[in-house]
Structure 1
């Protein structure tokens, strides 16, 4: 993922609601949302180059989502960040236990933000800089900076999710509209991540269009108190052309 908002213990029915976009090179081979063939308890899209994932759910209503941290000066070597999602969803350890173990080896990975949830807690781990938090009830947001960093597109998605949660609505249309948002903020509101103003502008909307790189998938996850729920995915090709959609109930 490159942008997400997550509502935790903040809705009368859904324990967790996550809405996010995955931005990636269009040439990178990817499998659509489905149960994984080698571990059918894991449901999500899949990166066919590394075998990992960017967002998904597992047994008992577990959820994992990862974003990269944007820093052109940082090393991009190390194990696949997609494995951070896959390893948790395949396992059975509580989110807090898993995060504790990962924190000891997180420096080996390229910069990342990781959110893990189970039936009891929502845990955050970042390695650039090193930070760990147990997140409280409410709405949280994350892009390619720190957790809850006030980037304009993160704030807009968090606001949209907060409104949807407060409305206690069934239709997901407001979340899809927020994920498709192409609003570009004023230059003065943009973060400075070291990539130059033109690229900051291009990457500033929630939904990014491009020939080689852009938003590849929008995902919405809904999990109730019993660990049941739904995961939805809408997929896109170059220049944001829709290529398909999927829904898996669990």
Structure 2
């Protein structure tokens, strides 16, 4: 189901810092982080639906997705992982893309989607499960945001823990280089769980309990489920991108990690 924390346009060194845990069934076929065949798009790939949960391009486009936690779903719904890919492979601005898909959001099960273009300092949040009175599309303001399986910045306890852990590391480093590995190893792997009164009460209390940690590992009726990968994406003010992924290998249940580096092309970050 995933959880992400990100810092947008409010750091002297990083226009964007993003950390995302992807939660999925261990048996679901997945491809690790790499450059895709088009040579422009980078990300992991869901080999069942063909899309991605997090990706970026050489030209400063970024998209990531989480599912919305709900008790019912449509078996014939379109694959949500196709939405980030469509944005990454388009030439539209975040706002233009959001407008394009508004008429079709009912064809998908519940989702949260963030699309951004770092060069133009534009980021929007799109959901087909808005809170009462909210819009489907909202510009994302500068600052720290957390996205899990409810609306953006919903105060679930795991989201508040993630925000505070991230905020503390930012404060400890006072605008300098951010300790990505520390964030991955100490915050994104946190297994602290919540007690029953604090849970969202969407699923059964037992299921909610196991889903209430930042790093998830549990058995569900359909098999082992939990955090399959931890991603860290940083973009510096001069355009240098570092995309780190620690992922669980399906073949031998071991954790592997690697990092891709590149510089955003064609425009400067002035």
Tell me the TM-score normalized by structure 1. 0.93
Take 1:145 and 1:33, find their aligned partners in 2: how far apart are those partners? 26
- Residues 78 and 108 in structure 1, CA contact (< 8 A), matched pair in contact too: yes
Counterpart secondary structure, 2:39: strand
Matching of residues 207-226 of structure 1 within 5 Å = 207-210=215-218, 212-226=224-238
Residue 29 of structure 1 pairs with residue 29 of structure 2? yes
Take 1:105 and 1:28, find their aligned partners in 2: how far apart are those partners? 26
Counterpart secondary structure, 2:70: coil
- Summarize deviations over 1:200-238 as a string: whole Å, max 9, x none: 001000111135111100001101234431111001258
Max Rg structure: 2
Take 1:123 and 1:12, find their aligned partners in 2: how far apart are those partners? 21
What is the CA-CA distance between 1:100 and the residue it aligns to? 1.3
Matching of residues 24-63 of structure 1 within 5 Å = 24-37=24-37, 39-63=38-62
Matching of residues 79-228 of structure 1 within 5 Å = 79-119=78-118, 120-129=121-130, 131-166=136-171, 167=173, 168-176=176-184, 177-193=186-202, 195-210=203-218, 212-228=224-240
Take 1:144 and 1:25, find their aligned partners in 2: how far apart are those partners? 16
- Residues 124 and 132 in structure 1, CA contact (< 8 A), matched pair in contact too: yes
How large is the RMSD of aligned CA atoms in angstroms?
1.8
Counterpart secondary structure, 1:104: helix
Total equivalences in the alignment: 247
Structure 2 segments unaligned to the other structure (5+ residues): 263-270
Partner of 1:19: 19
Tell me the TM-score normalized by structure 2. 0.86
Partner of 1:231: 243
Structure 1 segments unaligned to the other structure (5+ residues): none
